[in-house]
Structure 1
Amino acid sequence: MAYFDQNSFSLKGKVALITGGAEGLGKNYSIALSLYGADIFIVSRTQKGWEETQKIVEDNGQKIGFLQKDITEPGAAKETVAAVVKQFGHLDILVNNAGMQLRNDVLDFKDEDWQKVINLNLTALYYMSHEAAKVMAGQKSGKIINIGSMQSYRAGKFIFPYTASKHGVLGLTKAYADALAEYNIQVNALAPGYIKTNMTKALQDDPVRGPEIKGHIPSGEWGVPEQLMGPMVFLASQASDYVTGVMLPVDGGYLLR
C-alpha cells in the first residue's frame, strides 16, 4: 500500500550512477542525490572535477566511486554498469547526464559533428539505460532519469544534431518507461531551461540573445543550477513511484510562450 511521509524523498541505501557527474549540472545532481542519502558512481571521459565532487559527496556522508571512460566507445555501458555493481553490489538510479552541443550554419554543418553529438547524447544514453535496466529488472526496482532540453520541444536552427538527440531523448524516455514498467522501473527526464552555468555564459552575455531569452521567460530570470536539484531528488525517490514516461521542464515557464 502506498504511503507518504518525510522518508518518501530519502535515498538512503540507494546507489546512483551519473554520467558526467563531476562537472557542470551533473555535479549538482551528484550533490543533490548524495545529500539525500545515495552513494554516487561517476563515469566521465576525464578526471576533471573528481576531487572536488568526491569531497562534497563524502562530506554529505556518502561513498563515491569513479570510472574514467568515454561512454561512446563500444562496450562502455556494460563495463560501467559492471564497475558500479562490483563496487556497491547494486544499482538503483541512473542519471543520463553526459551530453554535448555543436553549432554551425545549416549548409556548413559537418557530418562528423552530427555523429559526435548523436553518439553521446542519444546512442550512449540508449546503451547505458539498456545495461542498467538489466540490473534493475532483477531487483524489481529502479529509476532512470534522462536529461532533455528546451530543444526536446523546440527547433534549434544552428544545433541540428543536438535538437534531434534531445527529441530522441524524449522518445526513448517514453519507450523505456512503457517497456520497463512491469519491472517496477520508472523512467523520466528533466528538461532544464536556460540555466546560468559556465557553458551558457556567452549566451547570457550576448547583447541580443541574452535579453531576448530573459524577456521570453515569464519569471524574467535565468535559472540557477540549484533549482534543478529538487526535481532530480523527486524523480530519484519513492515520492515519484507513480510517475513514469514524463519529461519535466524546469524552465521558469519558458515553454509557455
Structure 2
Amino acid sequence: MNQRVAIITGGSRGIGRETALRLARDGFAIVVGYANKQDEADGVVKEITTYGGQAVAGKADVADEKAVAALFDTASAAFGGVDVVVHAAGRLVKSTIADLDLADLDDLHRTNIRGTFVVAQQAARRVRDGGSVITFSTSIVGLALPMYGAYSASKGAVEAMTMILARELRGRNITVNAVAPGPVATDLFLDSNDEQTVAKLAAQPPLERLGTPADIAEVVAFLAGPGHWVNGQVIRANGGIV
C-alpha cells in the first residue's frame, strides 16, 4: 500500500531508460512509457523485474490525450495509482531558423509542446498528493546555440508550463520541476554529431566531459524523492556550462 509508482515517458531509451532503472532501485513500481520501440521497453521491464522490482510497459503517443490517459490507467490498474511522472519523451530537430522545414517545426512542437501539455494535464488530475512531476528542458535554452532555434523555443515553452503548473498545484504538496541537461552521451546524441562536434561539446563544461544518462537520472531521483523543498525550478544539469 505504501509503494510509490512512477510513470516515465520516453522510458525505453537513453535518459528515460536510465531513470526508470534508477527509480526502480529506489523501490518505485515503474510504468515504462514508449512510442514505438516495444522491444526496448520490454527490455527495461525485464531488467527491473529480474532484480525483484515491479514494472510494466505502456505504449502512448504523448501528444494524444486518449493514449496518455490510457497510460495513466495502466499505472492505476497495475499498481493502484501514480505518485511521480517523469516526462522524458521529446523530439529534436537541428536547423537554422532560415532553413527549417515548417512541417518539421509542427512535428517538433506537437511532441515537445503539446506532448508536455497533455502529460502535465493528466499529471495534474491524477498524481496523488505528495507526489512529483518532472519535465525535461535543455541547457540550450540559456546557451542560445545556432541550429537549435526551434528546439530551444519548444523547450522554453516546457519551462513556462512547468513553472505555472507548480503554482497551480498549490495545496497538494506536489512538486513540479524541470531538468535541463547539457550534452549527454546518449546514442541519439552520439549518432547525430560528428566526432569533432562531440569533442568540442565535451570540452565546454569545467568538468571536461559529456554527461551520462546516469548523471541525469540521479537528478531526477532527487526530485522524485521525499524530503526536499525544491519546487517550480529548472535544474541545469550540465557540468557547469555557463
Q: Which of these residues, 184, 196, 207, is aligned with residue 173 of structure 2? A: 184
Whether 2:28 is the aligned partner of 1:38: answer yes
> Structure 1, residues 149-180: CA drift from partner, whole Å, max 9, x if none?
11232324323221111111111111111111
Residue in 2 that maps onto 1:73: 64
How far the C-alpha of 1:88 sits from its partner, in A, is 1.4
- Code of the aligned partner of 2:23: L
CA distance in 2, matches of 1:75, 1:55: 27
Q: Deviation of residue 96 (structure 1)? A: 0.5
Kindly provide the amino acid, as one letter, of the partner of residue 216 in structure 1. Q
Q: Residues 202, 69 of structure 1: CA spacing in aligned structure 2 closer, same or farther, 3 A cutoff?
A: closer
**What SS class does the counterpart of residue 56 from structure 2 fall into?**
strand
**CA shift digits 1:78-106 (9 cap, x unpaired):** 22212221221110000010001012232
Aligned equivalent of 2:133, options 144, 150, 156: 144
1:77 touches 1:131 (CA, 8 Å); kept in 2? yes
**5+ unaligned residues in a row in structure 1: which ranges?**
1-11
CA separation in 1, counterparts of 2:82 and 2:191? Answer: 37
When normalised by structure 1's length, the TM-score is: 0.87
Of residues 86, 91, 97, the one that matches 2:88 is 97
The whole-number CA distance in structure 2 between the counterparts of 1:25 and 1:116 is 21
Instruction: Identify the residue that residue 251 of structure 1 maps to in structure 2.
Output: 238
The corresponding residue for 1:166 is 155
Residue matched to 1:128:
119
Give 1:202 deviation, angstroms: 4.3
Determine helix, strand or coil for the equivalent of 1:181: coil
2:205 corresponds to which of 217, 231, 238: 217
Distance 1:54 1:74, change over 3 A: closer
Report the residue type matching 2:180 in the other structure: A
Structure 2 contact 83–132 (Cα < 8 Å) conserved: yes
Contact 1:45–1:70 under 8 Å retained in 2? yes
The runs of 5 or more residues in structure 2 that have no matched partner are: none
Contact 2:32 2:45 in 1 (8 A): no
Deviations 1:196-224 (A, max 9, x none): 121121466432x3333233211111122
| Offset of residue 21 of structure 1 | 0.3
The AA in structure 2 aligned to 1:229 is A
User: What CA distance in whole angstroms lies between the structure 1 residues aligned with 2:65 and 2:169?
Assistant: 24
1:155 matched residue in structure 2: 144
Deviations 1:111-145 (A, max 9, x none): 11111111111211111111122122xx4221001
Is 2:105 the partner of 1:118? Answer: no
TM-score normalised over the length of structure 2: 0.92
* Residue type of the alignment partner of 1:83: T
Q: How many residues align?
A: 240
